[in-house]
Each structure stands twice: as structure tokens, then as C-alpha cells.
Amino acid sequence: AKLQPCLEEADGRLYAPFLLDENADKRVEGRFQLTAVDGKEVGKAAEAKEAVDTKAKLIKSTRPDKQIEIFVVHQNIIRYMFLRALQFDTTAWLNFGGSNCTMTQLRITRKGDVICDFFGDH
């Protein structure tokens, strides 16, 4: 069955054409009025939309801004990835420095720029 969004009625309130039970096993048909968002009572559709927007902003502000991934790989792979990320000639990876058991950090900005904070650092 296709889920439908809440519908705004002429009285300015939001209604759902059905609800799902707690386990989403059963669908209960009917006309259900949205009365609260995140424990805050809402009367009209505009209040509900404002409450949802406020909650979404709060959730977004508490999430971390960046994602960190750690790869444990052989130094040859690090050399290749480093050269590729910085758009250098990747055939030079064997002539490039760096030893095993070191750390390299590359950051990729939202615009796609690559920044090397350190390479082959102990």
C-alpha cells in the first residue's frame, strides 16, 4: 500500500487517512487528526509544520558536521590514493615517500577540494 501524507482540511487542521500500529503490522483506516508534534500540542497545520521544522533544526544541530572514516591499508595504497586525490600523476606512486606504520590525513571539503593535513606522520 502506498503511504499518503497528512491532508490539510478546510478547517486548517491536519488529518491522516490511516495509522499504522506500533509494529507497522496493521493499517487502521480512518480520519485521524494530528494533535501534537514532539509532545507539543498543535491546532492548525501551520503550527504543526512549524513544530516539525523546529524539531528538524534541533536534530540537525546535534548531529556532527563531518564524517570521519579511518582506513587501515598498506602504504602503497595510501601513496596511490594520495596522488589520485590531489590529481597528481598516479604512476609516480613508487617514487613517493612515506613508510609503513605512519598516518596520513586527507580532508575533502563540501566543494570537493582536497586538503592534506599530514602525510607519513608518526
pLDDT tens over the chain, length 122 residues: 444 567 777 788 888 888 877 777 788 888 888 888 888 888 888 888 888 888 888 877 876 666 677 888 888 888 888 899 888 888 888 888 878 788 899 888 878 888 999 998 88
Q: How far apart are CA 80 and CA 72, in angstroms?
A: 14
Coil vs helix vs strand at 112: coil
Q: What is the pLDDT of residue 117?
A: 92
Q: How far apart are CA 3 and CA 19, in angstroms?
A: 10
Q: How far apart are CA 27 and CA 30, in angstroms?
A: 10
Q: What is the pLDDT of residue 69?
A: 77
Answer yes or no: are the C-beta atoms of 94 and 114 closer than 8 Å. Answer: no
Coil vs helix vs strand at 91: helix
What stretches of 1-122 show up as alpha helix (H) in DSSP?
45-62, 75-85
Q: How far apart are CA 119 and CA 83, in angstroms?
A: 11
Q: How far apart are CA 7 and CA 34, in angstroms?
A: 10
Answer yes or no: are the C-beta atoms of 31 and 17 closer than 8 Å. Answer: yes
